[in-house]
Amino acid sequence: MNQRLEIEEISEELLDSLKQKSLEARNLSYNIYSKFAVGCALLTESGDVFVGANVENASYPACICAERVAIVQALMKGHKKFRAIVVSSSGEDVVSPCGVCRQFIFEFGPDTSVYMLGNEGKKTIKYTISELLPLGFGPSHLGK
Protein backbone atom coordinates (compact mmCIF):
# COMPACT_ATOMS: atom_id res chain seq x y z
CA MET A 1 0.00 0.00 0.00
CA ASN A 2 1.34 3.43 -0.88
CA GLN A 3 1.96 5.84 1.94
CA ARG A 4 0.25 9.19 1.45
CA LEU A 5 2.69 12.06 1.05
CA GLU A 6 1.90 15.53 2.27
CA ILE A 7 1.69 17.68 -0.83
CA GLU A 8 1.86 21.43 -0.51
CA GLU A 9 -1.52 22.92 -1.32
CA ILE A 10 -1.55 25.18 -4.33
CA SER A 11 -2.68 28.76 -3.90
CA GLU A 12 -6.08 29.94 -5.06
CA GLU A 13 -4.33 32.24 -7.56
CA LEU A 14 -2.34 29.34 -9.04
CA LEU A 15 -5.43 27.14 -9.16
CA ASP A 16 -7.34 29.88 -11.00
CA SER A 17 -4.49 30.12 -13.52
CA LEU A 18 -4.49 26.34 -14.03
CA LYS A 19 -8.26 26.35 -14.48
CA GLN A 20 -8.00 29.04 -17.15
CA LYS A 21 -5.25 27.15 -18.98
CA SER A 22 -7.35 23.98 -18.88
CA LEU A 23 -10.38 25.79 -20.27
CA GLU A 24 -8.25 27.40 -23.01
CA ALA A 25 -6.72 24.03 -23.93
CA ARG A 26 -10.20 22.74 -24.80
CA ASN A 27 -10.09 25.06 -27.82
CA LEU A 28 -7.19 22.99 -29.16
CA SER A 29 -9.19 19.77 -29.02
CA TYR A 30 -9.57 17.72 -32.20
CA ASN A 31 -12.99 16.23 -31.52
CA ILE A 32 -14.69 15.95 -34.91
CA TYR A 33 -16.47 12.69 -34.00
CA SER A 34 -17.73 13.10 -30.44
CA LYS A 35 -17.87 16.91 -30.38
CA PHE A 36 -16.73 16.55 -26.76
CA ALA A 37 -13.74 18.79 -26.08
CA VAL A 38 -11.46 18.08 -23.12
CA GLY A 39 -8.58 20.24 -21.97
CA CYS A 40 -6.20 19.96 -19.07
CA ALA A 41 -3.37 21.77 -17.37
CA LEU A 42 -0.65 19.81 -15.57
CA LEU A 43 1.47 21.36 -12.82
CA THR A 44 4.84 19.70 -12.32
CA GLU A 45 6.65 19.46 -9.01
CA SER A 46 9.04 22.18 -10.22
CA GLY A 47 6.20 24.56 -11.10
CA ASP A 48 6.16 24.16 -14.88
CA VAL A 49 2.76 23.88 -16.56
CA PHE A 50 1.89 21.73 -19.57
CA VAL A 51 -1.47 21.69 -21.34
CA GLY A 52 -3.20 19.03 -23.37
CA ALA A 53 -6.39 18.49 -25.33
CA ASN A 54 -8.08 15.34 -26.54
CA VAL A 55 -7.27 14.19 -30.07
CA GLU A 56 -9.73 11.87 -31.79
CA ASN A 57 -9.13 9.60 -34.74
CA ALA A 58 -11.38 7.76 -37.19
CA SER A 59 -9.90 4.61 -35.67
CA TYR A 60 -11.39 5.19 -32.22
CA PRO A 61 -8.82 3.18 -30.22
CA ALA A 62 -6.13 5.51 -31.59
CA CYS A 63 -7.63 8.50 -29.76
CA ILE A 64 -5.68 10.11 -26.92
CA CYS A 65 -7.05 11.99 -23.95
CA ALA A 66 -6.03 15.49 -22.88
CA GLU A 67 -4.42 14.25 -19.66
CA ARG A 68 -2.06 11.89 -21.47
CA VAL A 69 -1.17 14.57 -24.04
CA ALA A 70 -0.07 16.91 -21.23
CA ILE A 71 1.79 14.19 -19.31
CA VAL A 72 3.70 13.04 -22.40
CA GLN A 73 4.74 16.63 -23.12
CA ALA A 74 5.98 16.99 -19.54
CA LEU A 75 7.86 13.68 -19.74
CA MET A 76 9.57 14.79 -22.96
CA LYS A 77 10.90 17.79 -21.03
CA GLY A 78 12.24 15.58 -18.22
CA HIS A 79 9.43 16.03 -15.67
CA LYS A 80 8.27 12.93 -13.84
CA LYS A 81 6.66 14.32 -10.69
CA PHE A 82 3.39 16.19 -10.76
CA ARG A 83 1.55 18.24 -8.14
CA ALA A 84 -1.80 18.75 -9.81
CA ILE A 85 -3.80 18.23 -12.96
CA VAL A 86 -6.90 20.24 -13.86
CA VAL A 87 -9.39 18.68 -16.28
CA SER A 88 -12.20 20.52 -18.06
CA SER A 89 -14.64 19.62 -20.81
CA SER A 90 -17.31 21.08 -23.03
CA GLY A 91 -19.91 19.07 -21.11
CA GLU A 92 -22.25 20.64 -18.60
CA ASP A 93 -21.09 18.68 -15.55
CA VAL A 94 -17.75 17.93 -13.92
CA VAL A 95 -15.56 15.63 -16.00
CA SER A 96 -13.33 12.96 -14.49
CA PRO A 97 -10.25 11.31 -16.04
CA CYS A 98 -11.07 8.02 -17.78
CA GLY A 99 -9.68 4.75 -16.42
CA VAL A 100 -6.67 4.74 -18.74
CA CYS A 101 -5.78 8.29 -17.72
CA ARG A 102 -6.21 7.47 -14.04
CA GLN A 103 -3.68 4.67 -14.45
CA PHE A 104 -1.37 6.97 -16.41
CA ILE A 105 -1.48 9.70 -13.74
CA PHE A 106 -1.06 7.14 -10.93
CA GLU A 107 2.20 5.93 -12.51
CA PHE A 108 3.84 9.28 -11.78
CA GLY A 109 2.43 10.04 -8.36
CA PRO A 110 -0.39 8.41 -6.43
CA ASP A 111 -0.89 11.63 -4.48
CA THR A 112 -1.26 13.95 -7.47
CA SER A 113 -4.22 16.27 -6.93
CA VAL A 114 -6.88 16.05 -9.63
CA TYR A 115 -9.17 19.06 -10.03
CA MET A 116 -12.22 18.39 -12.18
CA LEU A 117 -14.19 21.29 -13.61
CA GLY A 118 -17.71 21.69 -14.80
CA ASN A 119 -18.33 23.71 -17.94
CA GLU A 120 -16.60 27.11 -17.74
CA GLY A 121 -14.98 26.11 -14.45
CA LYS A 122 -17.83 27.29 -12.24
CA LYS A 123 -17.94 24.01 -10.31
CA THR A 124 -14.75 22.30 -9.12
CA ILE A 125 -14.17 19.08 -7.23
CA LYS A 126 -10.81 17.75 -6.06
CA TYR A 127 -9.49 14.26 -5.32
CA THR A 128 -6.08 12.67 -5.32
CA ILE A 129 -5.53 10.15 -8.07
CA SER A 130 -5.33 7.44 -5.35
CA GLU A 131 -8.86 8.34 -4.32
CA LEU A 132 -9.99 8.06 -7.96
CA LEU A 133 -8.08 4.80 -8.45
CA PRO A 134 -8.26 2.94 -5.13
CA LEU A 135 -5.83 0.04 -4.82
CA GLY A 136 -4.10 1.29 -7.97
CA PHE A 137 -1.33 -0.77 -9.54
CA GLY A 138 1.94 1.13 -9.82
CA PRO A 139 5.71 1.00 -9.85
CA SER A 140 5.88 -0.12 -6.21
CA HIS A 141 4.16 -3.38 -7.20
CA LEU A 142 7.03 -4.13 -9.56
CA GLY A 143 9.69 -3.35 -6.97
CA LYS A 144 10.46 0.04 -8.53
**24 vs 132: CA distance, rounded Å:** 25
Q: Return the active site residues.
A: 67
Q: What are phi and psi of 84, to 5 degrees?
A: -155, 155
Residues 6+ apart with CB under 8 A from 126: 113, 114, 115, 116
Concatenated DSSP letters of 70-121: HHHHHHHTT---EEEEEEEESSSS-----HHHHHHHHHT-TT-EEEEE-GGG
Measured CA to CA, the distance from residue 68 to residue 107 in angstroms comes to 12
Report CA 117 to chain centroid distance, whole Å.
11
